Amino acid sequence: MRDALTAAPIAWSEQWTAPSENAPFRYGGAAGPIKDGSPMELFEQLAALTLRLGVRGLASADFIDDGERLWLLEIQPAARRPPSVFFDTDDDPLLTVTSTLSPMASPRPRSHANPKASAIVYAEFDTERPVAIGPTGVRSPIAGIPHSRSAPICTVSASGATAADARAETAVRSRRIQTWLREAAL
């Protein structure tokens, strides 16, 4: 049994960049949960750090993987900003699962049965956001607002058999939106 101050991993995810001329590390999207091969020592060090910093409740930790080492970027409490990698599903609701835990209970790891991904679609040219974006899995479009090249247009999401499949489907949906925008601009 765990005490109220013990951290427990719920899931691992991966994020990627969508580089542009002026923003080489611009956020591209995230997919998860993924099966992680990180050593247990990494999680133990992260748990000790969150305890030392006083982090309580649901939180995320972002790392950069340079191929040799993981570099900690931030630990973000969910109460301040829910991470983009909280992929809730009807059959595996993260917030319901964690909010019903007693202080002595351990959260269960996320299921790998239904991986999800989401990605930001950025404008490839100066345009207006369309009245409606029709493809399935599109969130946050704002109609009729002019914006410049590289501005975010919307978020696309998808499911897949694996996190990589879900990520690939967000790329397909992003390309469809870019094509649709180019055709609408003609």
For 80-104, what is each residue's pLDDT tens digit? 665 555 555 555 555 544 444 444 4
Lowest mean pLDDT among 21-25, 66-70, 128-132, 164-168: 128-132
Over residues 130-156, mean pLDDT? 67
Q: Where are the domains of the chain?
A: 12-185
Taking phi over 0 as left and psi of -120 to 50 as alpha, with beta for the rest, 58 belongs to: beta
Q: What dotted CATH number matches 12-185?
A: 3.30.470.20
Strand (E) or helix (H) holding 146: strand 146-147
The whole-model pTM stands at 0.73
